[in-house]
Amino acid sequence: MHHELYDITFIGGGPVGLFGAFYAGLRGMRTKIIDSLPQLGGQLVALYPEKYIYDMPGFPEVLAKDLAAHLIRQATRFQPTVCLEERAEQLTREDDHWVITTHKGVQHHTRTVVICAGAGAFTPRRLHAEGVADFEGNGVYYGVREKMQFADKRLLIVGGGDSAVDWALHLYPIARETTLIHRRHEFRAHEQSVRQLLESPVRVLTPYELRRVKGNSTVQSATIFHNRTQEEMELPVDAVILNLGFVASLGPIKQWGLELEGNAIKVDHLMRTNLPGVYAAGDGCTYEGKLKLLATGVGEVCIAVNHAKHMLDPGAKMFPGHSSEMTLPPLTG
């Protein structure tokens, strides 16, 4: 049976995979992106579309969903093949190329692979307090898809990291009232954000935890407790937002024979894994001095693409020059 053979396939359609696909197109490679989510954009659209990103060069501040839209438009300039809602399950060697088999039983044939799966599949860390599961998606939320759904609502936000603090700061101007509780006195969020929070009208209670959520068809109140004195307090609330972090797992990728360090794939300075023609970039890879930033991930994937190109065509330049010196096809969309 004849299968289409691609030069390079990116596993993961988040920011790093998207920029990699653009760069592979720039280098004239036949390119494919495989992602398990129903849309491109990765965490930017799946976890926090309404949050601002502040550390992307060239954007003093940009909504995650808007940054994703720019990245998608850039990535599709050279018309890569995009396969969504397909989770990569197996990686096997066939003759001179790799075969990626997805959970749908589809086989993708490719000469090189770049794993840009971040830390893997994300699931929110759940809270097993009374009533939480009963109202999940209807008054209790693990993320914010559309912030206007909280307009004029009495909000309880639970957590002490960047997500909890950022959402408190973004939502209090539109909510009727906002309370944030955290189980410790110290916050894990950026110091500047915590300063803003403490100067804002948000009611901040520490060290408090959520004991139960109550209501009829909708959430009407939440019982919180001081975790040292066990003293309870009942708050009238319309919605509870739980920001307790995410549990990430590389899942099936761990069975591919890659050298791992913790939950990350070990790479060398050229982004090569221990498997020939298989590279990794972004949050899912590790090396000495690794920084988990969007800005470094997009640099890593360019290194991976350039070396994949050179491996496939040893006559090709390792560095193709700057894009400002090239003629590119027009943007679409």
Task: Give per-residue pLDDT as tens, 144-177.
Answer: 878 899 999 999 999 998 889 989 999 999 999 9
Q: Return the domain boundaries, the chain.
A: 5-122+247-325, 126-244
Burial 212-248 (b: 16+ CB within 10 A, else e): ebebeeebebbbbbeeeeeeeeebebbbbbbbbbbeb
pTM of the complete model:
0.72
Average pLDDT along the chain? 92
pLDDT, position 328: 82
Candidates 300, 301, 295, 284; CA nearest to 55 is: 295
Give whichever of 49-58, 138-147, 228-237, 246-255 has the largest mean pLDDT.
228-237
DSSP string, 62-95: EEHHHHHHHHHHHHGGG--EEE-S--EEEEEEET
- More confident position, 38 or 12: 12
Q: How confident is the model at residue 323 (pLDDT cuts 50, 70, 90)?
A: confident
CATH superfamily of this structure's domain 126-244: FAD/NAD(P)-binding domain (3.50.50.60)
Virtual CA dihedral for 256, 261, 265, 271, nearest 10 degrees? -130
Question: Token digits for 97?
Answer: 């190329």
Q: What is the pLDDT of residue 85?
A: 86
pLDDT confidence of residue 329? 83
Q: Is the pLDDT of residue 118 over 90?
A: no
Confidence of residue 1 (pLDDT cuts 50, 70, 90): very low
Cβ neighbours, 10 Å, residue 77: 17
Residues near 324 by beta carbon (within 8 Å), at least 6 away in sequence:
none
Mean of pLDDT values over 36-48:
85
pLDDT, mean of residues 253-258: 94
pLDDT at 121: 66
Which class in CATH covers the domain with range 5-122+247-325?
A: alpha beta
Torsion (CA) 33, 330, 327, 17 in degrees, nearest 10: -20
For residue 324, pLDDT over 90 is answered with: no
Q: Would you say residue 2 has pLDDT above 80?
A: no
Residue 206: name the closest of 229, 188, 180 by CA: 180
Count Cα neighbours of 246 within 13 Å in the Cβ-side half-sphere: 16
Q: What are residue 82's DSSP bridge partners?
A: 33
Helical H segments across 176-316, by residue range: 191-199, 294-312
Q: What is the mean pLDDT of residues 56-78?
A: 95
Residue 200 vs residues 53, 58, 150, 208: alpha-carbon distances, Å? 21, 29, 18, 19
Given pLDDT bands bounded at 50, 70 and 90, which one contains residue 333?
A: low
Supply the DSSP symbol for 230: -
The two domains 5-122+247-325 and 126-244 share their CATH topology (first three levels equal): yes
The whole-angstrom separation of Cα 242 and Cα 137 is: 11
Predicted confidence at residue 325, as pLDDT, reads 77
Check residue 76 and give its pLDDT: 95
Least confident of 23-37, 40-54, 76-90: 40-54
Q: Rounded to whole angstroms, how far apart are CA atoms 7 and 29?
A: 6
CA–CA distance, 99 with 94 (Å, rounded to integer): 7
pLDDT at residue 46 in the model: 77
pLDDT score recorded for residue 321: 74
322 pLDDT more than 80: no
Assign 319 a pLDDT band (cuts: 50, 70, 90). Answer: confident
Question: Beta-carbon neighbour count of residue 47 at 10 Å?
Answer: 17
* For range 245-252, the mean pLDDT: 79
What Å distances lie between residue 89 and 46, 122, 279, CA to CA?
21, 16, 17
C-alpha 169: how far from chain center:
21
